[in-house]
Every structure is written in structure tokens, then in C-alpha cells.
Amino acid sequence: MPPTRLSPSAPSPPRGTGRLLVGLLVACLLAGCAGRELATRDAPGELSIDRALILAEARRALGTPYRYGGTTERGMDCSGLVQRAYSRAGIRVPRTSRQQFEALPRVDEARPGDLLFFATAGGRKASHVGIYAGDGEMIHAPGRGRRVTRTSLALDYWHERFLGAAAPAP
């Protein structure tokens, strides 16, 4: 049987369509490997007392110098900030960002007071954590020579390194 040929009246696909489809497929596959989507949900009036205490303590820490391994007003690191803020609400969390990421219950959408985990040291392991403050921002201890600050999550830097969110508070 001879191969089927398109008749001259049948429209042919535009030039480069095959390459475009392959490019879209590759982009979709790469996006799936890039990590999770950083999704947040701000619901006014739904803040539990625990979350309010966590956020109040995180706000109180704003301006505190970064200090590796620190958990006091003299200096704190990212996971020390989390430990301090959560202890204010009577919630115990592991010490390091990696331990927190591995142990705490994950959520698909972060609410104010939830934890956001990032792979900032390369690889796919949690090396940084922040507390979602609402309005697309987090409070975190960014690193040596800096201070606890409030940062926009709209930056590509955070989206590219986002690993997931956890909700240890009710």
C-alpha cells in the first residue's frame, strides 16, 4: 500500500511547529524538576492564637544580628529564629532547617506563621528557613553580616530555591 499523502488543499502545519512542541515539552519537564510552587494563602481573621504569638515573636526579632547557631536577641540564625518564635507559642521544633524540613508536617499553601524551606547552599537539601508573615513576605535571618529582616517572596531567587512549606502550628 502506498504512503498516504496530503492533498494540496489540506493545510500543512506551520514551519517550526515540531520544534515549538518539543521546546514546550522540555520546558514542562524542566519546570517539574525545578521544585515546588511557592503558594501562599492569606485569610484575614483566620489567625490562631499560636500563629499570632509566632508572628509577634518573629517581628520582635527584626533587626537582630545574624549569628550562626544563635537563638537569642544577641544573635540568631534562620532556624534559631524559628525555634525562638515557635517556643513563644509553646511549640517545640527541631534545631536545624534540615531537621525541621524533614520532621514537620508539609502543606501545599503557606499561611501566616507557617515555615518556608529553601535550598540555598546548592543541592536539594533544606539549608534555609523563614516564617511566612503574610502579604507575600517572610521574616528570616538571611546570613552572616546581616540582620533578621522581612523579605518579599516575589523574588525569583526564592522561587528557584523553594523546597516546601510546613505547618507545625494549628
Whether the per-residue pLDDT at 93 is higher than 70: the answer is: yes
Angle at 159 between CA 114 and CA 156, to 5 degrees: 130
pLDDT digits (tens, 9 = 90+) for 41-89: 887 667 899 999 999 999 999 999 999 999 999 999 999 999 999 999 9
- Tell me what the mean pLDDT of segment 99-112 comes to: 96
Is pLDDT of 142 > 80?
Answer: yes
Identify whether 11 is part of a domain: no
CA distance 84 to 53: 11
pLDDT score for 23: 40
Please indicate, yes or no, if residue 7 is contained in any of the structural domains: no
What is the maximum span of the chain, computed from C-alpha positions, in angstroms? 84
Residue 35, in any domain of the structure: no
Q: Which sequence positions are flagged as catalytic?
A: 78, 128, 140
* Alpha-carbon gap, residue 163 to 45, rounded angstroms: 28
Q: pTM of this prediction? A: 0.77
What is the number of residues in the chain? 170
pLDDT confidence of residue 42:
81
Residue 145 lies in domain: 49-166
Please give the pLDDT value at position 34: 42
- Number of structural domains the chain divides into: 1
